[in-house]
Each structure stands twice: as C-alpha cells, then as structure tokens.
Amino acid sequence: MAIPLPRPRLCVFDLDGTLVDSLRDIGESLNHCLTLLGLPTHPIERYRYMVGEGVPRLCQRAASEAHPHLVERLAELVRPHYRTRVLHHTRPYPGVLELVECLRADGIPLAVLSNKPHELTTRIVEHFWPEGQFTRIHGYIDEHLRKPSPHYLLRLCEAFGTAPQETWLVGDTPTDVQTAHAAGAYSVSVTWGFRTRKDLMDAGASVIIDTPDQLW
C-alpha cells in the first residue's frame, strides 16, 4: 500500500542499502584485506553498522581502535581490491527496478548521492540502469563534504532547479536522515537496507517505508 507523500519535484537516492544490496561484496573485500594485515575479520552482517560514511571511516571501524596505525594501510588495500569485485554479489533490492521505472514514468527527475567513491558509484548505477534513468550521479569525492553534509544535495537541487523542500532524499541510514534535515529536504527512510526501523526513528526520519511499492 502506498504511503501518501507530497509529490517531489526531485528524488535523490542513496546507493548502498537503498538501491542495491552491496553488503557481501563490501564485507568480503574488507575481510580479505584485514587478513592480509593479520587483523581479525568480522561477520558480514556486522558491516551493516560500519558502512555509510566513506572508506576512511569504514576502515577505521573495521580495524578497531586497537590498530589505528593500520587504518590508512587498510584503506590503501581495500580500494583496489573492492574495485575488482564491486559487482560480484551486488544486486538491486527486490522492487527497486520497478520503483525507479515508476518514478521516471511519472516524470520525476532522479539522482544518486552516495558516500561510496564516485567512480564506483557511477559504475554500479550505470551497470544496473544503463539507459540514463538517473540524470545525475554523485559519489564520495571530498571527505569534508560527504553526507551528512548537505552540500551536494543542495547542489543537486540547484542543478535541477528545485527547492529542497520539494526534494526527497531516499536512504537507509541515520546519515541520510541527517543530510536531508540539514538541507531542508524530505527524508524517506527504507527498512530493507543496512539499519533498523528504530535507528531511523531515533534519527528523526520524516517517513519510513518497508517496501519500494509504498512509493509508487
């Protein structure tokens, strides 16, 4: 059943945990590189609470506070290794392909804003949506401007000529909620991704949905 929402003039999606389930590829890449450094690995499910804030923060969490001197080296290893397997297991969540097509058919411009490195964000989006369904794709470039900074969300609003309050930011983490609030946009949080409903409620999500068809 669709949840009544104000119709957006722009819909911006997070990538990992929102459009695609990439957790296994990320977790296996981190574990491989942790092993190379002689560090303990983690269950794949634990990476749900490590991802979402860029590679440096991911590596910091994976290495733990006991090994701060290895964080930079871990990041150096993970970047090229993950690049070779970014699409091994990563797939769109059930119903997401249909959601994207429905929003496009309704004439709503679509964009992606991710804290994944820009090159990999573009690669994944263009692999699963090769016909340009997403007009703008923006991944991680500058550490100080990554989400929850509203900088790039506001730049997307400017590029499309829309006001933030007429924009949805659809994401699966408190970081996405914080980004939307900081920009003055409408946060739509999804429970099929990497965080729980309670996490999203505690972050102050504007609305929480459980299945993609609730946005059709």
Has residue 69 been placed in a domain?
Answer: yes
CATH number for the domain spanning 64: value is 1.10.150
pLDDT over 80 at 4, yes or no: no
Has residue 157 been placed in a domain?
Answer: yes
The predicted pLDDT at position 87 comes to 97
Q: Are residues 64 and 134 in the same domain?
A: no
Q: Are residues 134 and 32 in the same domain?
A: no
CATH number for the domain spanning 209: value is 3.40.50.1000
pTM above 0.85, yes or no: yes
CB 13 within 8 A of CB 170: yes
What burial letters (b/e) apply to 47-59, b meaning 16+ CB within 10 Å? bbebbbbbbebbb
**Which residue range(s) make up the domain with 112?**
10-21+91-215
CB within 8 Å of 160: residues ≥ 6 apart: 9, 10, 109, 111, 135, 136
Per the annotation, the verdict on 14 as an active-site residue is yes
Domain end point (choices 83, 100, 117): 83
The predicted pLDDT at position 44 comes to 96
Instruction: Please provide the average confidence, as pLDDT, over all residues in the chain.
Output: 94
Q: Which of 14, 21, 176, 199 is catalytic?
A: 14
Q: Are residues 119 and 179 in the same domain?
A: yes
Give how many domains the chain has, as a whole number: 2
The tens digit of pLDDT for each residue in 36-92 reads: 999 999 999 999 999 988 888 999 999 987 788 999 999 999 999 999 999 999 999
- pLDDT band for 2, please (50, 70, 90 cuts): low
Q: Are residues 95 and 151 in the same domain?
A: yes
